[in-house]
């Protein structure tokens, strides 16, 4: 009774053992530490090698060998290097291409099997010898000769080969309502029922059942394997194929950036170059904690000024005939406008009266001076009297001149500092009030930042400012107020270096360093990607063409760096440029 079941179990055990053995032998023994081979069918065979300085990927393509050479730490393509390959035909030098790679005609690569290449790279003063292994699979026809193994393994192999084919073609065939598919399905079903009927008669259920299933699967497999050919012919261009150039000669594109089943992202070297992916080594360090403060750009109080009219009056342009407009550079002492104070009617009559009086007095004193000067020679009048009369005349004339000048001369408005006109409200003929600001002058190279802090910052602290667009500026502490404003302390910083592009009143975030110390890995802000589930990840460059997402915990550090608190260790290559693009790969 139990012998048929035992036989079936034994067959199953042998099948499993051979399956495991087959996988183990496919992984050519002894290259321990090597990356697992790509599991996707759409990836061409390739070899890679790394050294301290370089990372090399060799891809055979259309009878040539494409070599992609990058810096190990940064992922930057190495151009202008001498790349010499030890081929079976002797040493050959690869030619640089426009795609920042190297190419070498390789007719010897037409032979399938294992190829070992020694690549000697000379880039500047760095020389490296890198062994590259290439395992080229045999063309489909060459696989057909099966080894003389037990029938069970043949079955298991064909089942293993057939399953992906079935799942691949089934959906399309169902969609097309293929008559072949329907016929095969019906035939298999009928065959199964027939066999079951026979088996019932003979009472050898397990063995016959296994036979029936095997026959059904084999029949279906052959049918689908046949159908797969025309499936390939009418294959539509794959979405995203624009990333990779289609190989000439009608060969389907083989290297597509893709997310592999284990969650890692495969990005072939040409795509890495297109996306300009760059990496950096993580290094542990101790950093000071920073706090973010809301701030706004203010003009430097010592390098800006306002132009106000001291008297009310009518504005008129300076000698050039034009008022300085917004953005006009001005120099200290430049006349920006004139204010002509208006003279009221009462004042006019008053002045006329005063003018008449003065004229009258001048005429009287004038005659007295003339008379005294004649008499003084004869000694009839004292010299003192003559002098007094002359002084009186001079004083009267001065008063008369001043009266004239007041009536005709307007007040010039003068730029108090060098800079650029930041605000202008002057129009010809406009009446300006006394004390009204007509112009504001700001030195755009000399701007400050005022931030509101809840902690008192100490002098000499380092701070950076970050704009919403990501630009950062170094700041120098200038001072903080003692009077609270909105329950916070106003703190002023000077912007170091080039402050061009900033506007007065612009909002920014000030990141000031506090005394607290943090340890971890500092990475550029661009290295961290927020995934759709809200988690922060960085992409680690694990092998030459593979990137793996690592969930990390981040803390703000400063304007353009974040601190990785956990999730990745030091000494890893992390993508710092193009991580967002890498995250889009599906």
Task: List contacts with another protein (CB under 8 A).
Answer: 10, 13-14, 17-18, 20-21, 24-25, 29-33, 49, 51-52, 84, 86, 91, 114-118, 120, 122, 125, 127-131, 133, 150
Integer Cα distance of 135 and 36 in angstroms: 13
Q: Which is nearer to another protein, 91 or 342 (CB)?
A: 91
Backbone angles phi, psi at 351, to 5 degrees: -65, -40
Q: Which is nearer to another protein, 67 or 277 (CB)?
A: 67
For Cα atoms 66, 67, 69, give the angle at the middle one, nearest 5 degrees: 150
- DSSP 8-state secondary structure symbol assigned to residue 506: -
Task: Quote the least distance from Cβ 514 to another protein, whole Å.
Answer: 44
Task: Quote the least distance from Cβ 279 to another protein, whole Å.
Answer: 21
Q: Which is nearer to another protein, 50 or 96 (CB)?
A: 50
Residue 55 near residue 77, CB atoms below 8 Å: no
| Tokens of residue 460, six digits | 């000499």
Q: Which is nearer to another protein, 18 or 213 (CB)?
A: 18
Task: Quote the least distance from Cβ 26 to another protein, whole Å.
Answer: 10
Task: Quote the least distance from Cβ 148 to another protein, whole Å.
Answer: 12
Contacts of 263 (CB under 8 A, 6+ apart): 548, 549
Q: Which is nearer to another protein, 138 or 343 (CB)?
A: 138
Residue 81 near residue 125, CB atoms below 8 Å: no
To 10 degrees, what angle do helices 205-233 and 3-26 make? 30
Task: Quote the least distance from Cβ 149 to another protein, whole Å.
Answer: 9
Task: Quote the least distance from Cβ 264 to another protein, whole Å.
Answer: 22
Task: Quote the least distance from Cβ 169 to another protein, whole Å.
Answer: 32
Tokens 């494409």 belong to residue: 66
Task: Quote the least distance from Cβ 130 to another protein, whole Å.
Answer: 7
Q: Which is nearer to another protein, 82 or 167 (CB)?
A: 82
Q: In which element (H, E) is residue 370 found?
A: helix 345-378
Q: Which is nearer to another protein, 13 or 180 (CB)?
A: 13
| Tokens of residue 381, six digits | 């009048």
Q: Which is nearer to another protein, 33 or 321 (CB)?
A: 33
- DSSP 8-state secondary structure symbol assigned to residue 575: E
Q: Which is nearer to another protein, 51 or 551 (CB)?
A: 51
Query: Other C-beta atoms within 10 Å of 203: how many?
Result: 8
DSSP letter string, 297-317? EEE-TTSEEEEE-SS-EEEE-
With the CA atoms of 216, 218, 222 and 225 taken in that order, what torsion angle do they form, in degrees rounded to the nearest 10? Answer: 110
> What are the beta bridge partners of residue 520?
285
Residue of 552, 558, 410 lying closest to 470 (CA atoms): 558
Task: Quote the least distance from Cβ 128 to another protein, whole Å.
Answer: 7
Backbone angles phi, psi at 22, to 5 degrees: -60, -40
């Amino acid at each position: 009774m139990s012998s048929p079941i035992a036989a079936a179990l034994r067959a199953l055990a042998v099948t499993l053992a051979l399956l495991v053995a087959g996988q183990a032998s496919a992984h050519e023994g002894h290259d321990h530490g090597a990356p697992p081979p790509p599991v996707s069918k759409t990836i061409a065979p390739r070899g890679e090698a790394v050294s301290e300085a370089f990372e090399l990927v060799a891809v055979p393509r259309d009878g040539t060998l494409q070599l992609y050479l990058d810096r190990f730490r940064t992922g930057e393509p190495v151009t202008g290097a001498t790349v010499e390959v030890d081929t079976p035909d002797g040493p050959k030098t690869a030619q640089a291409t426009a795609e920042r790679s190297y190419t070498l005609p390789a007719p010897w690569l037409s032979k399938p099997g294992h190829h070992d290449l020694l690549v000697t790279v000379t880039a500047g003063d760095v020389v490296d010898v890198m062994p590259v292994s290439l395992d080229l699979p045999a063309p489909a026809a060459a696989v057909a000769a099966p080894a003389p193994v037990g029938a069970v393994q043949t079955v298991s192999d064909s089942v293993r080969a057939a399953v992906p084919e079935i799942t691949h073609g089934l959906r399309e065939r169902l969609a097309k309502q293929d008559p072949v598919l329907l016929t095969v399905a019906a035939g298999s079903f009928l065959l199964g029922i027939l066999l079951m009927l026979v088996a019932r008669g003979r009472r050898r259920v397990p063995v016959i059942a296994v036979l029936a299933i095997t026959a059904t699967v084999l029949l279906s497999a052959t049918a689908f394997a046949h159908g797969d050919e025309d499936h390939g012919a009418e294959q539509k261009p794959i979405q995203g194929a624009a990333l990779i150039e289609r190989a000439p000669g009608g060969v389907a594109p083989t290297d597509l950036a893709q997310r592999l089943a284990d969650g890692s992202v495969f990005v072939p070297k040409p795509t890495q170059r297109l996306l300009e992916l760059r990496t950096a080594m993580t290094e542990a360090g101790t950093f000071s904690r920073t706090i973010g403060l809301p701030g706004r750009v203010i003009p430097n109080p010592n390098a800006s000024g306002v132009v106000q009219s001291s008297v009310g009056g009518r504005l008129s342009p300076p000698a050039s005939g034009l008022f300085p407009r917004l953005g006009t550079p001005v120099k200290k002492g430049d006349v920006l406008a004139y204010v002509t104070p208006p003279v009221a009617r009462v004042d006019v009559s008053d002045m006329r009266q005063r003018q008449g009086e003065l004229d009258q007095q001048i005429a009287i004193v004038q005659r007295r001076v003339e008379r005294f000067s004649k008499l003084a020679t004869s000694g009839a009048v004292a010299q003192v009297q003559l002098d007094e009369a002359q002084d009186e005349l001079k004083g009267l004339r001065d008063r008369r001149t001043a009266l004239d000048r007041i009536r005709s001369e307007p007040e010039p408005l003068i730029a108090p500092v060098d800079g650029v006109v930041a605000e202008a409200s002057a129009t010809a003929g406009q009446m300006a009030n006394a004390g009204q600001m007509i112009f504001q002058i700001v030195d755009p190279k000399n701007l400050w930042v005022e931030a509101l802090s809840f902690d008192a910052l100490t002098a000499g602290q380092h701070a950076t400012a970050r704009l919403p667009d990501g630009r950062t500026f170094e700041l120098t502490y200038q001072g903080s107020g003692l009077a609270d404003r909105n329950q916070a302390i106003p703190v002023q910083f000077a912007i170091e270096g080039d402050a061009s592009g900033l506007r007065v009143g612009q909002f920014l975030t000030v990141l000031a360093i506090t005394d607290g110390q943090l340890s971890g890995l500092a990475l550029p802000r661009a290295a961290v990607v927020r995934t759709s589930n809200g988690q922060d990840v960085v992409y680690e460059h694990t092998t030459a063409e593979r990137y793996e997402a690592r969930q990390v915990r981040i803390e703000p550090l400063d304007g353009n760096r974040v601190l990785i608190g956990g999730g990745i260790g030091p000494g890893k290559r992390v993508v710092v440029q193009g991580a967002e693009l890498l995250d889009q790969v599906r």
